[in-house]
Amino acid sequence: MSVSDAGVGMPDAVPAGPVEFRVSSADARQHLLEIFRLRGDSPVRRVLDDLRGTSLENPPSVVAAAARAVDLRAEFFGGAQVDRDRPVRVTILLCPGTYRVVDLNRVLAGSNQTERLRVRGHHDACDASGRRSDAAHDDRPQDTVRQGAATSPTPEVRLVPTPDGPRFASPGVLPASGPVRFVNATAQGGEMLLQRLRPGVTAERVRQVLEDGRAAGSVFDGPAYGLGGLSAGHQETLGNRSAPGRYVLMSDAPDIKRGVSQATLGAWRIVHLR
Protein backbone atom coordinates (compact mmCIF):
# COMPACT_ATOMS: atom_id res chain seq x y z
CA MET A 1 0.00 0.00 0.00
CA SER A 2 1.17 3.52 -0.74
CA VAL A 3 -0.23 6.69 0.76
CA SER A 4 0.32 10.26 -0.39
CA ASP A 5 -1.42 13.60 -0.73
CA ALA A 6 -3.08 12.15 -3.84
CA GLY A 7 -4.69 9.29 -1.93
CA VAL A 8 -4.13 5.64 -1.08
CA GLY A 9 -2.85 3.08 -3.56
CA MET A 10 -3.96 -0.40 -2.54
CA PRO A 11 -5.47 -3.68 -3.74
CA ASP A 12 -9.23 -3.91 -4.18
CA ALA A 13 -9.48 -7.19 -2.29
CA VAL A 14 -7.48 -9.51 -0.02
CA PRO A 15 -8.15 -13.03 1.33
CA ALA A 16 -9.55 -13.44 4.84
CA GLY A 17 -7.07 -14.12 7.61
CA PRO A 18 -3.87 -12.42 8.76
CA VAL A 19 -2.94 -9.87 6.08
CA GLU A 20 0.45 -8.17 5.95
CA PHE A 21 0.29 -4.61 4.65
CA ARG A 22 3.54 -2.99 3.56
CA VAL A 23 2.75 0.69 3.85
CA SER A 24 4.99 3.38 2.36
CA SER A 25 4.90 7.00 1.26
CA ALA A 26 6.94 9.22 -1.05
CA ASP A 27 5.97 12.32 0.95
CA ALA A 28 8.14 14.05 3.53
CA ARG A 29 5.14 14.73 5.75
CA GLN A 30 3.51 11.95 7.72
CA HIS A 31 0.42 10.00 6.77
CA LEU A 32 -1.65 7.87 9.15
CA LEU A 33 -3.40 5.02 7.35
CA GLU A 34 -6.46 3.61 9.12
CA ILE A 35 -8.57 0.54 8.30
CA PHE A 36 -12.08 0.39 9.72
CA ARG A 37 -15.48 -1.20 9.23
CA LEU A 38 -18.79 0.56 9.75
CA ARG A 39 -21.02 -0.67 12.56
CA GLY A 40 -24.61 -1.38 11.52
CA ASP A 41 -25.94 1.15 9.03
CA SER A 42 -23.70 4.03 10.12
CA PRO A 43 -22.98 6.37 7.18
CA VAL A 44 -19.31 6.74 6.35
CA ARG A 45 -19.63 10.52 6.03
CA ARG A 46 -20.83 10.71 9.64
CA VAL A 47 -17.80 8.71 10.80
CA LEU A 48 -15.48 11.06 8.92
CA ASP A 49 -17.15 14.05 10.57
CA ASP A 50 -16.73 12.37 13.97
CA LEU A 51 -13.06 11.73 13.22
CA ARG A 52 -12.57 15.42 12.50
CA GLY A 53 -14.11 16.13 15.86
CA THR A 54 -11.35 14.10 17.52
CA SER A 55 -8.67 16.57 16.40
CA LEU A 56 -6.79 17.58 19.54
CA GLU A 57 -7.03 21.19 18.37
CA ASN A 58 -10.70 21.08 19.43
CA PRO A 59 -11.87 21.70 23.02
CA PRO A 60 -11.56 18.56 25.19
CA SER A 61 -15.34 18.24 25.59
CA VAL A 62 -15.74 18.18 21.79
CA VAL A 63 -12.90 15.68 21.39
CA ALA A 64 -14.28 13.31 24.03
CA ALA A 65 -17.79 13.33 22.54
CA ALA A 66 -16.43 12.76 19.03
CA ALA A 67 -14.19 9.90 20.19
CA ARG A 68 -17.17 8.17 21.82
CA ALA A 69 -19.19 8.65 18.63
CA VAL A 70 -16.41 7.11 16.53
CA ASP A 71 -16.35 4.06 18.82
CA LEU A 72 -20.11 3.64 18.41
CA ARG A 73 -20.16 3.96 14.61
CA ALA A 74 -16.97 2.26 13.45
CA GLU A 75 -14.64 -0.58 14.37
CA PHE A 76 -10.94 0.10 13.77
CA PHE A 77 -8.57 -2.73 12.91
CA GLY A 78 -5.28 -0.84 12.79
CA GLY A 79 -3.06 0.81 10.25
CA ALA A 80 0.31 2.53 9.98
CA GLN A 81 1.93 5.93 10.45
CA VAL A 82 4.56 6.44 7.73
CA ASP A 83 6.62 8.98 5.81
CA ARG A 84 9.13 8.65 2.98
CA ASP A 85 11.93 7.64 5.35
CA ARG A 86 9.89 5.22 7.42
CA PRO A 87 7.80 2.50 5.74
CA VAL A 88 5.86 0.23 8.08
CA ARG A 89 4.80 -3.41 7.90
CA VAL A 90 1.66 -4.29 9.81
CA THR A 91 -0.21 -7.60 10.02
CA ILE A 92 -3.93 -7.48 10.79
CA LEU A 93 -6.47 -10.28 11.08
CA LEU A 94 -9.35 -9.43 8.72
CA CYS A 95 -12.56 -11.43 8.40
CA PRO A 96 -14.83 -11.39 5.33
CA GLY A 97 -16.58 -8.11 4.64
CA THR A 98 -16.10 -4.59 3.32
CA TYR A 99 -13.69 -2.24 5.04
CA ARG A 100 -12.82 1.42 4.58
CA VAL A 101 -9.30 2.78 4.33
CA VAL A 102 -8.46 6.43 5.00
CA ASP A 103 -5.50 8.69 5.58
CA LEU A 104 -6.49 10.12 8.95
CA ASN A 105 -4.27 13.17 8.55
CA ARG A 106 -6.08 14.11 5.34
CA VAL A 107 -9.47 13.46 6.94
CA LEU A 108 -8.58 15.83 9.78
CA ALA A 109 -7.68 18.41 7.12
CA GLY A 110 -11.16 18.11 5.58
CA SER A 111 -10.89 15.28 3.04
CA ASN A 112 -13.82 12.87 2.61
CA GLN A 113 -11.85 10.45 0.45
CA THR A 114 -12.08 6.78 1.42
CA GLU A 115 -11.12 3.55 -0.31
CA ARG A 116 -12.99 0.25 -0.12
CA LEU A 117 -11.15 -2.93 0.79
CA ARG A 118 -13.05 -6.19 0.28
CA VAL A 119 -12.02 -9.22 2.29
CA ARG A 120 -13.10 -12.50 0.71
CA GLY A 121 -13.09 -16.18 1.53
CA HIS A 122 -12.95 -17.88 4.92
CA HIS A 123 -10.42 -18.30 7.70
CA ASP A 124 -10.55 -20.45 10.83
CA ALA A 125 -10.03 -17.35 12.99
CA CYS A 126 -13.38 -15.97 11.76
CA ASP A 127 -16.77 -17.17 12.97
CA ALA A 128 -19.85 -17.91 10.86
CA SER A 129 -21.00 -14.28 10.97
CA GLY A 130 -17.74 -13.06 9.48
CA ARG A 131 -16.43 -11.71 12.78
CA ARG A 132 -13.21 -12.56 14.58
CA SER A 133 -13.35 -15.59 16.87
CA ASP A 134 -11.09 -14.75 19.81
CA ALA A 135 -10.63 -18.37 20.81
CA ALA A 136 -9.57 -19.39 17.31
CA HIS A 137 -7.20 -16.45 16.97
CA ASP A 138 -5.52 -16.40 20.35
CA ASP A 139 -4.77 -20.13 20.56
CA ARG A 140 -2.21 -20.18 17.77
CA PRO A 141 1.12 -21.28 19.28
CA GLN A 142 2.87 -21.00 15.91
CA ASP A 143 2.98 -17.20 16.30
CA THR A 144 6.63 -17.08 17.38
CA VAL A 145 9.91 -15.31 16.76
CA ARG A 146 12.95 -17.20 15.52
CA GLN A 147 16.00 -16.82 17.76
CA GLY A 148 18.76 -18.99 16.33
CA ALA A 149 17.61 -22.59 16.47
CA ALA A 150 14.97 -21.86 19.10
CA THR A 151 11.69 -19.99 19.07
CA SER A 152 10.06 -17.67 21.59
CA PRO A 153 6.63 -16.01 21.73
CA THR A 154 6.20 -12.76 19.85
CA PRO A 155 6.81 -9.84 22.27
CA GLU A 156 3.54 -8.22 23.25
CA VAL A 157 2.74 -4.62 24.08
CA ARG A 158 -0.61 -4.07 25.78
CA LEU A 159 -2.54 -0.86 26.28
CA VAL A 160 -4.34 -1.41 29.58
CA PRO A 161 -6.93 0.58 31.56
CA THR A 162 -6.17 2.31 34.87
CA PRO A 163 -8.16 4.83 36.95
CA ASP A 164 -5.88 7.55 35.57
CA GLY A 165 -6.26 6.57 31.93
CA PRO A 166 -4.64 4.04 29.57
CA ARG A 167 -1.10 2.80 30.25
CA PHE A 168 1.36 0.61 28.39
CA ALA A 169 2.31 -2.79 29.78
CA SER A 170 5.38 -3.85 27.86
CA PRO A 171 8.75 -5.57 28.16
CA GLY A 172 11.54 -3.07 28.68
CA VAL A 173 13.36 -4.48 25.65
CA LEU A 174 11.73 -5.06 22.26
CA PRO A 175 13.26 -6.36 19.01
CA ALA A 176 14.69 -3.73 16.67
CA SER A 177 14.14 -6.24 13.88
CA GLY A 178 11.17 -8.58 14.19
CA PRO A 179 7.48 -8.71 15.08
CA VAL A 180 5.91 -6.88 18.02
CA ARG A 181 2.25 -7.55 18.79
CA PHE A 182 0.07 -4.66 20.01
CA VAL A 183 -3.08 -5.53 21.98
CA ASN A 184 -5.64 -2.90 22.95
CA ALA A 185 -6.97 -4.20 26.27
CA THR A 186 -8.84 -0.98 27.11
CA ALA A 187 -12.50 -0.13 26.48
CA GLN A 188 -11.61 2.62 23.98
CA GLY A 189 -9.49 3.18 20.90
CA GLY A 190 -5.71 3.29 21.14
CA GLU A 191 -2.54 3.19 19.06
CA MET A 192 1.13 2.23 19.34
CA LEU A 193 3.71 4.71 18.11
CA LEU A 194 7.48 4.63 18.55
CA GLN A 195 9.80 7.64 18.50
CA ARG A 196 13.55 7.47 18.91
CA LEU A 197 15.11 9.46 21.75
CA ARG A 198 18.34 11.40 21.56
CA PRO A 199 21.19 10.18 23.80
CA GLY A 200 20.96 11.29 27.39
CA VAL A 201 17.28 12.26 27.38
CA THR A 202 15.74 11.44 30.76
CA ALA A 203 12.30 10.04 31.54
CA GLU A 204 11.48 13.29 33.34
CA ARG A 205 12.27 15.29 30.21
CA VAL A 206 9.99 13.01 28.18
CA ARG A 207 7.25 13.48 30.77
CA GLN A 208 7.58 17.26 30.55
CA VAL A 209 7.12 17.12 26.77
CA LEU A 210 4.29 14.58 26.61
CA GLU A 211 2.35 15.41 29.77
CA ASP A 212 3.16 19.05 30.48
CA GLY A 213 3.23 20.20 26.86
CA ARG A 214 6.72 21.68 26.97
CA ALA A 215 8.62 22.21 23.72
CA ALA A 216 10.26 19.00 22.49
CA GLY A 217 13.53 20.75 21.65
CA SER A 218 16.22 18.10 21.22
CA VAL A 219 14.31 15.25 22.86
CA PHE A 220 13.44 13.20 19.76
CA ASP A 221 15.69 11.88 17.02
CA GLY A 222 13.26 11.77 14.11
CA PRO A 223 9.47 11.54 13.74
CA ALA A 224 7.18 8.95 15.27
CA TYR A 225 6.15 5.84 13.36
CA GLY A 226 4.11 2.77 14.13
CA LEU A 227 0.61 1.37 14.23
CA GLY A 228 -2.68 3.14 13.61
CA GLY A 229 -5.87 3.21 15.65
CA LEU A 230 -7.21 0.01 17.14
CA SER A 231 -10.67 -0.46 18.65
CA ALA A 232 -11.11 -2.07 22.06
CA GLY A 233 -10.23 -5.75 22.17
CA HIS A 234 -8.33 -5.84 18.87
CA GLN A 235 -4.70 -6.51 18.06
CA GLU A 236 -2.22 -5.97 15.24
CA THR A 237 1.44 -6.82 14.71
CA LEU A 238 4.24 -4.46 13.75
CA GLY A 239 7.03 -5.90 11.60
CA ASN A 240 9.69 -3.74 13.21
CA ARG A 241 12.74 -2.65 11.21
CA SER A 242 14.41 0.05 13.28
CA ALA A 243 17.83 1.17 14.43
CA PRO A 244 18.66 -0.06 17.94
CA GLY A 245 18.39 2.49 20.72
CA ARG A 246 16.05 4.08 23.26
CA TYR A 247 12.54 4.89 22.09
CA VAL A 248 9.40 6.23 23.65
CA LEU A 249 6.35 4.03 23.16
CA MET A 250 3.16 6.11 23.16
CA SER A 251 -0.48 6.48 22.17
CA ASP A 252 -1.58 9.86 20.87
CA ALA A 253 -5.20 8.71 20.44
CA PRO A 254 -7.82 10.87 22.21
CA ASP A 255 -9.12 9.69 25.57
CA ILE A 256 -12.90 9.22 25.46
CA LYS A 257 -13.41 10.64 28.96
CA ARG A 258 -11.05 13.58 29.14
CA GLY A 259 -10.72 14.56 25.48
CA VAL A 260 -6.93 14.89 25.50
CA SER A 261 -4.14 12.75 24.09
CA GLN A 262 -3.70 9.47 25.95
CA ALA A 263 0.04 10.25 26.09
CA THR A 264 -0.79 13.42 28.02
CA LEU A 265 -2.46 11.20 30.63
CA GLY A 266 0.57 8.93 30.89
CA ALA A 267 0.16 6.43 28.02
CA TRP A 268 3.86 6.29 27.22
CA ARG A 269 6.89 4.25 28.21
CA ILE A 270 10.59 4.27 27.39
CA VAL A 271 11.80 1.01 25.82
CA HIS A 272 15.05 -0.25 24.34
CA LEU A 273 15.10 -1.71 20.83
CA ARG A 274 17.82 -4.32 20.40
Q: Which domains are assigned to the chain?
A: 2-133+154-273 (2.60.40.420)
Q: What is the pLDDT of residues 43-75, one digit of tens each?
A: 999 999 999 999 999 999 999 999 999 999 999
Q: What is the pLDDT of residues 103-152, one digit of tens each?
A: 999 999 999 999 999 999 999 989 876 677 654 344 333 344 444 444 55
**Confidence band, pLDDT 50/70/90 cuts, at residue 178:** very high
Q: Element (H or E) spanning 14, and its range?
A: strand 13-15
Q: Element (H or E) spanning 99, and its range?
A: strand 97-103
5 or 50, which is more confident: 50
